[in-house]
Amino acid sequence: MTRYIAFNGDADGLCALQQLRLANPGDATLVTGVKRDIRLLERIDAAPGDAVTALDISLDQNRDGLLRLLAAGASVEYFDHHHAGELPAHAGLRAHIDEGPEVCTSILVDRHLGGRHRRWAITAAFGDNLPAVARALAAQAGLDADQAAVLERLGTCLNYNAYGECLADLHFDPAELARHLLPFADPLAFAAQCGAYAALCDGYEEDMAHARRLSPAHEVPGAALLVLPDAPWARRAIGVLANELVRGRPGDAIGLLSPKSGGGFAVSVRVPAHSATGAADFCRGFETGGGRRLAGGINHLADAEVDRFTRSFADCFGGPGLTGPAGRTR
Single-letter residue type at 267: V
Contact 3, 51 (CB under 8 A): yes
Helix (H, G, I), strand (E, B) or coil at 10: coil
The predicted structure's pLDDT at residue 322: 54
Q: Tell me which of 181, 204, 227 is where a domain ends.
A: 204
Pair (192, 222) in one structural domain? no
The pLDDT value given to residue 269? 95
Cβ–Cβ under 8 Å, residues 63 and 89: no
Asked if residue 294 belongs to a domain, the reply is yes
Q: Which of 178, 204, 230 is the last residue of a domain?
A: 204
Q: Which of 189, 66, 169, 53 is nearest to 117 (CA)?
A: 189
Expressed as residue numbers, the domain containing 187 is 3-204
For residues 39 and 159, membership in a common domain is answered with: yes
Phi, psi of 317 (to 5 degrees): -115, -20
Q: What is the CATH number of the domain that holds 137?
A: 3.90.1640
CA distance 42 to 238: 26
Residue 285 inside a domain? The answer is yes
| Residue partners of 130: CB distance under 8 A and separation at least 6 | 102, 103, 104
In order of 66, 199, 207, the CA distances from 202 in angstroms are 38, 5, 9
| Residue 325 domain-assigned (yes or no) | no
Which pLDDT belongs to residue 36?
87
176 lies in the same domain as 43: yes
- Tell whether 31 is covered by a domain: yes
Structure confidence by residue, pLDDT tens digits, 157-170: 999 999 998 999 99
Q: Are residues 65 and 163 in the same domain?
A: yes
- Yes or no: say if 8 and 57 are a contact pair by the CB < 8 Å rule: yes
The count of structural domains within the chain is 2
Question: Is the domain of 224 the same as that of 179?
Answer: no
- Residues 48 and 182 grouped into a single domain: yes
**327: in domain:** no
Reported as a single tens digit per residue, the pLDDT across 47-86 is: 999 999 999 999 999 999 999 999 999 999 999 999 999 9
Return the CATH number at 257. 3.10.310.40
Cα 304 → chain centroid:
26
Quote the CA–CA distance of 312 and 302 in Å, as a whole number. 15
Q: Are residues 116 and 148 in the same domain?
A: yes
Q: Assess whether 281 and 309 both reside in one domain.
A: yes
Same structural domain, 288 and 230: yes
Domain assignment present for residue 96? The answer is: yes
Same domain, 22 and 149: yes
Same domain, 169 and 283: no
Asked whether residue 324 is assigned to any structural domain, the reply reads no
User: Are 103 and 136 in a shared domain?
Assistant: yes
Report whether 133 contacts 326 (CB < 8 A): no
Of 204, 230, 250, which residue is a domain's last?
A: 204
pLDDT in tens, the chain (330 residues): 999 999 999 999 999 999 999 999 999 999 999 998 999 999 999 999 999 999 999 999 999 999 999 999 999 999 999 999 999 999 999 999 999 989 999 999 999 999 999 999 999 999 998 999 999 999 999 999 999 999 999 999 999 999 998 999 999 999 999 999 999 999 999 999 999 999 999 999 999 999 999 988 888 899 999 999 999 999 999 888 988 898 899 999 999 999 998 899 999 999 998 999 999 999 999 999 998 899 999 999 999 999 999 999 999 998 655 554 543 332
270: nearest Cα among 280, 261, 284, 262:
280
Examine residue 323 and state whether it is found in any structural domain, yes or no.
no
78 phi and psi, to 5 degrees? -125, 120
Q: What does the DSSP assignment read for 12-30?
A: HHHHHHHHHHHHS-S--EE
Please tell me whether the overall predicted TM-score, pTM, comes out greater than 0.75 for this model.
yes
